[in-house]
Structure 1
């Protein structure tokens, strides 16, 4: 297990093959490689900053926040239960299931791609775009204030309330 505490961020840059879990108890843990946190669950009680691309399959729990930065596309595919919210400041963050972003609010200042179906109840704010991809039907049921517009590239997107789709243009790019 790894732990971090203190004001200065701790950066893990290389692949780490350990199978155990990771505990973030304070400060910021930066992963600049999708394999930097091994294969175990992550308990995030502070800030987990993901400055990488690829597929992050670890489950993330705890009371902390997850931040996505950098230009690459990063997929969160774990069954995540963290409660501190999600900040997207660069690139694309792809959620491959409705639980991938935990239960907190999402601040999308880049691109949030929802490649999943189901009911997504988290509130989405920020200046970024929301993209619906994949074949499934996704319902947005939060009170959303994002301003970057909505792109539907696959499946079906349902807004369950008047505030669910944020503001900005809605573009349907599905073929046919």
Structure 2
């Protein structure tokens, strides 16, 4: 099947065979009803979304037959948006374009793999299965160029290769940034992963870039790091933190030293007063009788 211009389907669609749906460049395909990938066979069927156009699923993607498996694949350069509450039990394979998970996909617990250079996984919804970002592929909160939070109910692994890194793309806008809310572990131990920043930070905000239950590894490559900021890898979150300027640090140090000086001065003033000395304009001077020394 293929679509050009704008095509909207409000009724449900049932399939019993693997199918490829293609949305051509400039076209938009919108499906508002339920899509049943495998509704009558206890076997595995795959729905492939292809093309340079945009495809949006507002309804539920499922495989209703007991014992069946439904897989979803995205290829081509277009944008696939999953806005419904999907329940299909198979894998999700993203090998081209941009895929936005804007609905609740927590019940779609099959593994999610993101492959090939330039492929992007993003959105503001929830992903149920374990996610792996492979060589050259990317993950982002919301969509690349906007700010949002993507929730992952399982693990996230960045697994790149030499010269073809797996990347977390972070957009910053004012006092907000992209965020990955990961219920399980974040794995950065492949040695070929990076974090790339776009947009200026405000110089004062601490940005929470990711939360997780555990962390292994660190990003090997960092690009676009805002001036005056550093990455802090915490036990349960990754933060972008402003670094105090040297001038601010020096002022703080001098203020601390000033407190110590004031305390010492008060001590010696009391000591001087006890020994017949007086303080003139903050300077201790001895009250010496003019006759002394004659």
**Coarse TM-score class (shorter-chain normalised):** 0.7 to 0.9
Pairs aligned (count): 164
Equivalent in the alignment of 2:185 = 161
Q: Cα 1:135–1:141, aligned 2, differ >3 Å: closer, same or farther? A: same
CA distance in 1, matches of 2:10, 2:125: 30
TM-score by length of 2: 0.47
Deviation at 1:91, TM superposition (A): 0.8
Deviation at 1:143, TM superposition (A): 5.2
TM-aligned CA deviation for residue 131 of structure 1: 1.5
- Name whichever structure is richer in strand by fraction: 2
**What pairs with 1:63-102 in structure 2 (closer than 5 Å)?**
63-99=69-105, 102=108
Matched, 1:131 2:140: yes
Larger mean CA deviation between 65-74 and 49-58 belongs to 49-58
**1:149 is paired with a residue of what secondary structure?**
strand
Distance 2:3 2:11 in 1: 18
Cα drift, residue 28 of structure 1: 2.1
Which residue is 1:171 aligned to?
Answer: 196
The whole-number CA distance in structure 1 between the counterparts of 2:87 and 2:32 is 17
- CA drift of 1:26 comes to 1.8
User: Judging changes above 3 Å, is the alpha-carbon distance between structure 1 residues 175 and 100 closer, same or farther for their aligned structure 2 residues?
Assistant: farther
User: Does 1:30 pair with 2:21?
Assistant: yes
Tell me if structure 2 keeps the 8 A contact 1:65–1:82: yes
Name the TM-score, length of structure 1 as normaliser: 0.74
Q: Would you say the 8 A contact 2:122–2:140 is kept in 1?
A: yes
Structure 1 partner of 2:129: 122
Structure 1 residue 150 corresponds to structure 2 residue 175: no
CA offsets, 1:106-157, max 9 Å, x none? 1211423322166x44222333211123333645631525422211223322
- The CA RMSD over aligned residues, in Å, is 3.1
Structure 1 residue 41: Cα displacement: 0.4
- The structural deviation recorded for 1:16 is 5.5
Contiguous gaps of at least 5 residues in structure 2: 39-44, 64-68, 161-165, 172-176, 202-294
Q: 1:23 to 1:88 in 2, by over 3 A?
A: same
Residue 7 of structure 1: aligned partner: none
CA distance in 2, matches of 1:58, 1:131: 23
Deviation for aligned residue 1:47: 1.3
Could you say which residue in structure 1 is the equivalent of 2:35?
42
Asked if the contact 2:71/2:92 (under 8 Å) is kept, the reply is yes
Give the drift of 1:101: 8.9
Q: Which of 10, 13, 31 is 2:3 aligned to?
A: 13
Alpha-carbon displacement from aligned partner over 1:46-84 (angstroms, at most 9, x marks no partner): 111111414332320112111111112221111111111
Q: Could you tell which deviates more after superposition, 144-153 or 79-88?
A: 144-153
